[in-house]
Amino acid sequence: MYDPERWVVLSTDAAPTYAVFAPVVAKLWRRIGYRPLVIIHRDGWQSDFGNHVLSSLAESDAVVVRVPTVAPLSVANTMRAVRVVAAATPGLDPQDFLLTADVDMIPLSRAFWNGRWQFVVLRALFHAWLATPDGSTPSFPPGGPVLGFRFAMCYAGAITEIWKEAIPVGGGDVEAALRTLV
């Protein structure tokens, strides 16, 4: 019987101010039981810094997927959007779990991330929700959502087949999948 793998989906371009986090965060995710799937912009890695980042990701057993800028998106928006089509990565099992995360957000609690979910959106308020005695959902922000209030795109997770159902994309890889959305 196949034991589904838990993946964390990270993305970055080669800008050192952001890419510097990739090796550290990938190693920390690996230590708490998630295999890193790191989607990188294909350009800009031909430097000592870029080589160090890529070799460090390889040491973390990360799967690295390179994508170009997908017009009309900018490099930054391509790197944001690719995480929601990561289920198009070849070789994933339909039952594998993919959790989107930001490359500069460090996972610190193994217990918080230890769940085996099919679909989940995790937020800081998740623990408060679990702790409410009557099982009610706490309001965030207090008083409920307000115009302009947004959650970050990270910590949405689902098994591969749910991602593909929620965001039906064509193509056989991440780049092709993203092109069907833009």
What's the 3-state SS for 66-96? EECCCCCCCHHHHHHHHHHHHHHCCCCCCCC
What's the confidence (pLDDT) of residue 155? 87
User: pLDDT per residue over 161-173, tens digit each?
Assistant: 999 999 987 778 9
What's the confidence (pLDDT) of residue 111? 83
Low-confidence ranges of the chain (pLDDT < 70): 1, 123-153
- What CA–CA distance (Å, rounded) separates 126 from 168? 28
Q: Say if CB 25 and CB 50 are below 8 A apart.
A: no
What's the confidence (pLDDT) of residue 169? 79
User: pLDDT per residue over 45-74, tens digit each?
Assistant: 999 999 999 999 999 999 999 999 999 999
What's the confidence (pLDDT) of residue 116? 85
